[in-house]
Structure 1
Amino acid sequence: MKLTVVGGGSTYTPELIDGFARLRDTLPVEELVLVDPAAERLELVGGLARRIFAKQGHPGRITTTQDLDAGVDGADAVLLQLRVGGQAARQQDETWPLECGCVGQETTGAGGLAKALRTVPVVLDIAERVRRTNPDAWIIDFTNPVGIVTRALLQAGHKAVGLCNVAIGFQRKFARLLGVSPADVHLDHVGLNHLTWETGVRLGGPEGEDVLSKLLSEHGEAIAADLRLPRPVLERLGVVPSYYLRYFYAHDEVVRELGTKPSRAAEVAAMETELLRMYGDPALDEKPELLAKRGGAYYSEAAVDLAAGLLGGGGSPYQVVNTLNRGTLPFLPDDAVIEVQAAVGPKGTTPLPVPAVDPLFAGLMANVTAYEDLALTAALHGGRERVFKAMLAHPLVGQYAYAEGLTDRLIAHNREHLAWA
C-alpha cells in the first residue's frame, strides 16, 4: 500500500507518522511519500519521520520529493494538508477582519473566505494531476476550509472525502469522562465542517443508549469550560456545540478578546520555528510534546481510520466525515457537503440517517451552506462582486458596509494568490 501526503513538510506530519507507525496493523503502509515544495522543511520532517518508523519497528519506506507527479504516481490514497501562503497568510486572515469589527479566524468568516479563495484552485490542480497519474486513488482532504474544499473536489468528480478532528476529539473527551473506551462512544454528530453539534452520545454504536443528558448533568461545567461558553447555554441548547460555534454565539466577546492578544497565527509561527529546530535533532525519534499544542489532536487516528476504511483494510465501520448530503438533511441541497456519521468502505461513504434537526441549528446550517455555495463560486470564477456576495452572505459579516470593507481588504492582502485580482 502506498500513501502520499501533499504538504508533507508540515509540522503536523510527525503526528501523522506516529499514527501510521502505531496503527500499522489497521493500515499496513508499505511506502509513504511526503511531498512539499519547501525542501528544507521536507528534509527535517522526513528525517524525523524515518526515525519514528525505525524506533517503532515499522517496515515501511518513507521517501520525500518536491515533485508532485512523481509523489502521487501509484498512490492508493493522497492526503492533502497544505496551507497556501503559509503562516504569513494565516496571520493576515486573523488580523484584517478585526479592522471591520468582525472575527478574524482562519477557517470561518472573512478569513475563512480568503483561505478558500487561495486554496480551492491549488487543490483542484493537485487533484487533476492525481487523476491523470492514478485515477483510482482516494483523496482525503484535511486542508481547511474542509467543507468548501471537499465540495470543490466532489463537484469536479474526484474520489474525495473530507476529514476533521473535531469529532474524534469529542469522542476521546467523552470516553474519558464516561470511563469507557473511545470505541464504545458513538456520536450523533451533525452539521457542516466547523459548524457542528453533538446531539447524542451513544454507548456501543448507532442504536446504543444516549447518555448525552448524563454527560451534561455530571460534567457540564468541564465541557462548558473547554468550549469557553457558559454552562447554562449548553443546558438550554441541550447539545454540545463544537468550539467553533463560540464565534457565532459570542461573536462580539470574541472580537474584543482577539483585539487584546497576539493572534493564534503568531503563536503557531513561533511554535513551528521551535518544532523545526527540534526535528533537526538526529537523536529525536518520537513526536515531541510541544506538537500537541500545535493543534490537530487525534488527527493521525482519524486519518488512519478513514484511509483503512476506504482502502478495504479495516477501520471503524462508522466514521464522521465530510461528504455529500444526498438528502440526509432535507433542508439542504443534495450537493451540499455535510459533516455527519457515515458508513465507510471501498466504495466510499454513505451518511447514516439523521433525526430531525432543531430549527435553531438547521437555520444556521442553511445560512452557512448558502455562503459556502457563493464562496466556492468566487473561488472558481473570481471577481470582486462574487467575493462581496459571499462575504455579505456569511452570518459573521452580514452587513453591506462590513462586506464592502472586508472585500477590499481580502483582495488587497491576497493579490499574489488570486489569478483574477
Structure 2
Amino acid sequence: MKLAVVGGGSTYTPELVDGFARLRDTLAISELVLVDPAADRLELVGGLARRIFARQDHPGKITTTSDLDAGVQGADAVLLQLRVGGQAAREQDETWPLECGCVGQETTGAGGLAKALRTVPVVLDIAERVRRANPDAWIIDFTNPVGIVTRALLQAGHKAVGLCNVAIGFQRKFAALLDVAPGEVHLDHVGLNHLTWELGVRLGGPGGENVLPRLLAEHGDAVADDLRLPRTLLDRLGVVPSYYLRYFYAHDAVVRELATKPSRAAEVAAMERQLLDMYADPALDEKPELLAKRGGAFYSEAAVDLAASLLGNGGSPVQVVNTYNNGTLPFLADDAVIEVQARVDKDGPVPLAVPGLDPLYAGLIANVTAYEDLALEAALRGGRDRVFRALLAHPLVGQYDYAEGLTDRLLAHNREHLSWV
C-alpha cells in the first residue's frame, strides 16, 4: 500500500510517521512518500522519518520528492497537510484582524477566510493531479480550514474526507479523567469543523451509558481550565464546547488578550526552528517531546484509523469526520459539510443520526454554514464584494464597517496569493 503526504516537509510529519510505525498492524504501508516544495526541510524531515521507521523495525520504504505528480503516482491515499504562505501568512492572519477589533485566528473569522482564499485553489489543483494519477485514491484533508476545503473537494467530485484532531483529543482526555481505555469512549460530537460540541460521552459505543453529567460533576474544573472557559458556563450548558467556541463565547476578552502577547504563529515559528535543528541530528530516531507543543496531538492515530477504514483494512467502524450533511442536520443543505460521528468503510463515511439540536447550537451552526457558503464562493470566484459578503455574514464580524476594514486588510496582505487581486 502506498500513501503520499502532501506537505510532508511539515514539522508535524514525524508525529504522523510515528503513528504509521506504531500502528502498522492497523495500516500496513509498503511505501510512504513525503511531498513538499521546500527541499531543505524535506531532507531533514525525511531523514528523521526513515530513522523512526528503522527504530521500530517498520519494513516500509520512505521516499521524498518535490515533484507532486511523481509523488502521488499510484498512491492509494493522499494526506493533505499544507499551509499556503507558511507561518508568515499565518502571522498576518492572526494580527491584522485585531486592528479592526476582531479576533485574529488562522481558521476562523477574518484570518480563517484569508487562509481559505489562499488554500482552496491550491488544494483543488493538487486534487485534480491526484485524480489523474489514480482516480480511485482517497484524499484525506487535514488542511485548514478543513470544513471549507473539504467541501471544495467534494463539490469538485473528489473522493475526499476531512479530518480534525479535536474529537480524538477530547476522547483521550476524557478517557484519562474517567480512567478507561480510549476505545471505550464514544463522543456525541456535533457541529462544523472548529465549531463543535460534545453533547454526550458514552462508554462502550454509540448506544452506551452517557457519563457526561458525571464527567462534568467530578472533573468540570479541569475541563473548563483546559478550554479556558468558566466552569459555570459548562454547568449551565451541560455540554463540552470545543476550544474554538471561546472565540465566540468570549470574543472581546480574547481580542484584548491577543493584543497584549506574541501571536501563536510567532511561537510556532520559533518552535519549528528548534524542531528542525533537532531533526538534523542523525542520532535522533524518535519524535521529540517538543513536538507535542506544536499542536496536532493524536493526529497520527486519527489519520491511521481513517485511512485503514477507507482502504478496507480495518479501522474503527465509527469515527469523527468532515463530510456531506445529507440530511443529518435537517436545517442545513445536503451539501453542507459537517463534523460528526460517521460509519466509515471503503465506500466512504455515512453520518450517524443526530437528535434534534438545541437552538443555541443549531442557530450558530446555521450562521457559520452560511458564512462558509459565501467563503467558498469567494475562494472559487474571487472578487472584493464576495470577500466583503463573507465577512459580513460571519458572526465574529457582522458589522459593515468592520467588514469593510477587514476586506481592505485581507486583500492588502494576500495579494501575492490571490491571482484575481
Q: State the TM-score, normalized to the length of structure 2.
A: 1.00
Runs of 4 or more, structure 1, over 3 Å off, are: none
The whole-number CA distance in structure 2 between the counterparts of 1:28 and 1:305 is: 12
Which residue is equivalent to 2:155?
A: 155
Q: Residue by residue, what CA displacement relative to the aligned partner does 1:329-368 show, whole Å, maximum 9, x if unpaired? A: 0011100000000000000000000011110000000000
The whole-number CA distance in structure 1 between the counterparts of 2:358 and 2:187 is: 17
Letter in 2 for 1:71: G
The whole-number CA distance in structure 2 between the counterparts of 1:260 and 1:127 is: 40
The whole-number CA distance in structure 1 between the counterparts of 2:344 and 2:208 is: 19
Q: Residue by residue, what CA displacement relative to the aligned partner does 1:94-140 show, whole Å, maximum 9, x if unpaired? A: 00000000000000000000000000000000000001111000000
Which residue is equivalent to 2:191?
A: 191
The whole-number CA distance in structure 2 between the counterparts of 1:26 and 1:296 is: 20
* Residues 1:342 and 2:349 aligned together: no
Which residue is equivalent to 1:68?
A: 68
* Runs (5+) with no aligned partner, structure 1: none
Q: Residue by residue, what CA displacement relative to the aligned partner does 1:309-342 show, whole Å, maximum 9, x if unpaired? A: 0001111000000000000000111000000000
SS of aligned partner of 2:414: helix
Which residue is equivalent to 1:138?
A: 138
The whole-number CA distance in structure 1 between the counterparts of 2:260 and 2:210 is: 41
Which residue is equivalent to 2:265?
A: 265
* Residues 1:239 and 2:239 aligned together: yes
Aligned runs of 1:205-354 on 2, under 5 Å? 205-354=205-354
Letter in 1 for 2:100: C
Backbone CA RMSD of aligned residues: 0.3
The whole-number CA distance in structure 2 between the counterparts of 1:360 and 1:179 is: 31
Which residue is equivalent to 1:2?
A: 2
The whole-number CA distance in structure 2 between the counterparts of 1:357 and 1:42 is: 45
Which residue is equivalent to 1:21?
A: 21
The whole-number CA distance in structure 1 between the counterparts of 2:314 and 2:62 is: 22
Which residue is equivalent to 2:164?
A: 164
The whole-number CA distance in structure 1 between the counterparts of 2:271 and 2:179 is: 33
> Alpha-carbon deviation of 1:264?
0.1
Q: Residue by residue, what CA displacement relative to the aligned partner does 1:171-222 show, whole Å, maximum 9, x if unpaired? A: 0000001110000000000000000000000000011000000000000000
The whole-number CA distance in structure 1 between the counterparts of 2:331 and 2:358 is: 11
> Alpha-carbon deviation of 1:15?
0.1
SS of aligned partner of 2:354: coil
SS of aligned partner of 1:314: coil
Q: Residue by residue, what CA displacement relative to the aligned partner does 1:275-294 show, whole Å, maximum 9, x if unpaired? A: 00000000000000000000
Aligned runs of 1:356-375 on 2, under 5 Å? 356-375=356-375
Letter in 1 for 2:115: K
* Runs (5+) with no aligned partner, structure 2: none
Q: Report the number of matched residues.
A: 421
SS of aligned partner of 2:236: helix
Letter in 2 for 1:182: P
SS of aligned partner of 1:186: strand
The whole-number CA distance in structure 1 between the counterparts of 2:363 and 2:97 is: 24
Which residue is equivalent to 1:55?
A: 55
Letter in 2 for 1:307: A
SS of aligned partner of 2:290: helix
Which residue is equivalent to 1:39?
A: 39
The whole-number CA distance in structure 1 between the counterparts of 2:250 and 2:358 is: 20
The whole-number CA distance in structure 1 between the counterparts of 2:346 and 2:386 is: 37
The whole-number CA distance in structure 1 between the counterparts of 2:392 and 2:419 is: 22
